[in-house]
Amino acid sequence: MAVWARQVSRWCCLLNTARAVEFPSRLRSRGCTARPCREFAPLAVLPAGKEAVLCRLQAYRQVSVGSCSPPDRAKGESFSSPESNLPSVQQEQAKVETLPDVNAKILDEDWDDIPPSSALEVISEEEAVQIIAEPLLPIQSSTLRDYVDHSETLAKLVHLGVDLSQVEKRQKAGQLLLTLDFEKDVKKILLFLKDVGVEDNQLGPFLTKNPYILGEDLEALETRVAYLKSKKFGKSEIAQMVSRAPYLLLFSVERLDNRLGFFKNELGLSVKKTKDLVIRLPRLLTGKLEPVKENLQVCQIELGFQRNEIQQIVYKTPKILTASKKRLKQTFDYLHNIMGIPHHMLTRFPQVFNSKLLRIRERHMFLTFLGRAQYDPAQPSYISLDQLVSLPDEVFCTEIAKASMQDFENFLKTL
């Protein structure tokens, strides 16, 4: 009897396994919703012996006649006793034995599709030659040149004429370029600069001086250009200012407005003259204001110019605002105290302050040697300060000094 019970228990286990596999598919075919069945408990918690057989048969019956209709062959049948259902169990066992293991088949197919790979796999010489090893990206480098082959952005900027050796000298400029994508970040800025008026052949030098503009927000740049247009700067004037002062568009609208207001109020210039001033020297809008304030004080206090004279000097020669204080005082001292040029003459020809002091000294001494150093317009043989400093040496000698170039060179050797 014990042997018979163990055999029936084994059949029931096979039967339950088969039903568990077939049950979801049957439910789907009959339009029913599958529900989890608590009756399928682990075998370890079920009763042993004959009671185990009855328990498993009862579980099978409940699953078969649950919320769905049983199969046609099961209608009218009952599980009244183990003996009456023994043939059905044998039939189910036969079916279970012929069921294919779907998961195992899929697993076998998947493994068949994966080519074998191994670090120790032997390859032919032809295959080895076709393997291309990519150069390693340097983890750390002091020059951008090491990254050009790995960065599309750097490669295209070099093609535009950007000098990376100069860019990498600027603080954090190299790190910025390495983080930019050419198509997403750089291209739109290049198109913007061309629309502003920067020439194609100037894009490289422009970005060499100001690579930081590539990291600026495009909308902010357009707002700054719109502000300059609102102040009646023409398109060609804006293009000239941006090209000559590459950092101009890095300044916010508020800062640009404050700079324009400073020069207008500090110098007492009209709006038009203020515009002309910054158009000719746009770096006045981007440079520091401390040197400008100091030079204005030097002109007024140490050099003795009146406010209206300073206005004329600055408007005609804006560079005087950014010149070296030491050089400015030395040039004035020689012109005014050695050559005897009065303030009103210096105000009339302020470009003399842009000339090298050595050139002024050499030519004045040569004219003095020849007896032609006459700078008073009321006297004959008058020589203007503009002619003294602006003409080339050959023209100066023949037309102003009335001497040869060889005479001038011989005189310079005696100094």
pLDDT in tens, 93-127: 444 444 444 444 444 444 444 455 555 667 677 77
Of 287, 309, 330, which residue sits at a domain end?
287
Of 226, 253, 287, which residue sits at a domain end?
287
Q: Which amino acid is at 400?
A: I
Of 269, 287, 305, which residue sits at a domain end?
287
Query: Is residue 262 located within the same domain as residue 206?
Result: no
CA distance 316 to 313: 5
Query: Is residue 148 located within the same domain as residue 211?
Result: yes
**Assigned domain for 192 exists:** yes
> For residue 150, what are the domain limits?
144-215
| Cβ atoms within 10 Å of 264's Cβ, excluding its own | 17
Residues 6+ apart with CB under 8 A from 232: 275
Domain tally, the chain: 2
Query: Is residue 160 located within the same domain as residue 208?
Result: yes
Angle at 164 between CA 243 and CA 184, to 5 degrees: 75
Query: Is residue 192 located within the same domain as residue 243?
Result: no
**Assigned domain for 240 exists:** yes
Q: What is the DSSP letter of 211?
A: G
Q: Return the residue matching tokens 């030659």.
A: 129
Q: Residue 309 has what pLDDT?
A: 95
Query: 267-283 in b/e burial notation, b at 16+ Cβ within 10 A?
Result: bebeeeebbebbbbbbb
Average pLDDT of span 80-87? 42
**Assigned domain for 133 exists:** no
**Assigned domain for 107 exists:** no
On whether the CB atoms of residues 198 and 221 are closer than 8 A, the answer is no
Query: Is residue 211 located within the same domain as residue 252?
Result: no
CA distance 316 to 295: 15
**Assigned domain for 294 exists:** no
**Assigned domain for 310 exists:** no
CA distance 21 to 400: 115
Q: What is the DSSP letter of 41?
A: -
Average pLDDT of span 174-198? 93
On whether the CB atoms of residues 284 and 317 are closer than 8 A, the answer is no
Query: Is residue 240 located within the same domain as residue 210?
Result: no
**pTM score:** 0.61
**Assigned domain for 248 exists:** yes
**Assigned domain for 281 exists:** yes
369 alpha carbon, distance to own chain's centre: 62
On whether the CB atoms of residues 207 and 199 are closer than 8 A, the answer is no
Question: What confidence tens digit (pLDDT) does each residue in 10-53 have?
Answer: 555 444 544 444 444 444 444 444 444 444 344 344 444 444 44
Rg (CA), the chain: 48
pLDDT range class, residue 313, cuts 50, 70, 90: very high
Q: Which amino acid is at 316?
A: K
CA distance 266 to 315: 12
